[in-house]
Structure 1
Amino acid sequence: MRETAIGLRNVAVAYRDDVALRGVTMDVYAGEFVGIAGPNGAGKTTLLTVVNGLGRLLRGEAVVLGERLAAGRRGREFRTDRRATALRRLIGYVPQNVPVDPRVPVRVREAVMMGRAGRLGLFRRPGPADWRLVDEYLELVGLSHLADRPFGHLSGGEQQRVAIARALAQEPRILLLDEPTVSLDWRSQRQVLSLIRRVHLERKLTTLMVSHDPRETFDMCDRVALLCRGRLAAFGPPREALSDARLRAVFGGGCSA
């Protein structure tokens, strides 16, 4: 029987008067690569936020790596704050591309070391073992030769590679990626996606990836979750979840095929 890394049961999330997720139920198995697709406003990023332990649940519950997140009086409730913090240390997050001021005096190696912060704590300085780990991940993403380059001087594709290395420096069991190829040119997109797939397999991660272009991206996924207006319209193998009929229905404004 396969181990469930992420289990969602009737999850609903709201931001003020806007309901972002409505009754989402799904299981993601340990070691699985799951794509998340849907039009703007479908709830894709919110789903990642729930898995990351930061989503404020209106109803339902999420169990992530054995830790339970459920709707409570404050909107979310782990069993203890300490366990919630420990859980987030096991989850690496790669956000969408964010413009970087090239004048920011942060070098690539230092940017990757920021991913160790959760492991080190507030008052512990990185030691030789931490820097060796950073160098290992820089080599993994093919950027060892740029370790001393200012982060703001890198290309968009190179910056995404650094973001992936930074997330891996946290030594996560789950990797969350929010449109990691947005704004990149075609060649950089293929390079970043190839890297993500290789990292997923080599590190035996459970990976969730949001993409704005499902047909171009999700051939590398085991399963795809298709969202529409906060609801789960489909969840299954890419060819099934992203059938022509389903894509027309969802991206055309409906939520069922």
Structure 2
Amino acid sequence: MGDRYQRGGGNLAKAMGELAGLRGAGGADVKAFCAGPVHALILAGALVESGLYRRVIVVGGGSLAKLGMKFRGHLAAGYPILEDVLTGVAIDVAADDGRSPRLRLDAAATLRLGDGDAPHQVAQALTVAPLRRLGWRLSDVDRFAVELHNPDITEPAGSGNVPAHNYRLLAALAVQAGEIDRAGMAGFERAHGLPGFSPTQGHIASAVAYLSHAIAGLTEGALRRVQLVAKGSLFLGRMTTTGDGASVVLERNER
């Protein structure tokens, strides 16, 4: 996006608003690689909570560069090119209507520069720390939505089962905190985790793919709390060697 003077510039948000004929709306882009949608969701919630705006729409989607991104691994393993889907999301963030799930901004977190990039450090900062801040245990969250890549796509390419790895790490942190014993790890993963189902790489697969299911479970189902946990690879921008991440909790509206 952009031109030879403004590479990566422009404003897709304003362009989409213009195409939709929303003359009274403004817009701005949020760029944070795979963590972008959750960062944007937190920012949208803060803008509404502060009273600055009545309604904020978060819109994002995959790019052509994501199509067949790991095709070499698939072809080498005798598979067809599996990453052949582009997806998008649109999230309507508005004031409390008494029914829709609440966005718990007091349980939001971002990965700070001093938190570290090791997997257990990232999980501690994005998952455990914001829950502890409110006196919650890991088991007080019904579902954790992490990187939800479909393992049928990632395993042949050599990336492994990404969701299973994340949930195993969360179960280990629950053991460390004394919430469960080691024998209960598999049960914790089944009870609080999700199978990977997102057919694409990148930011749609990183937690936000579960959002519509979370909303249904928090309004019509038995869910009470869902934590969205997204991680991003800032080194892809060639600006830093650090990673990034953001998390936030959605909660059933009890009004």
Which structure has greater strand proportion?
1
- The TM-score, its normalising length taken from structure 2, stands at 0.31
- The TM-score, its normalising length taken from structure 1, stands at 0.31
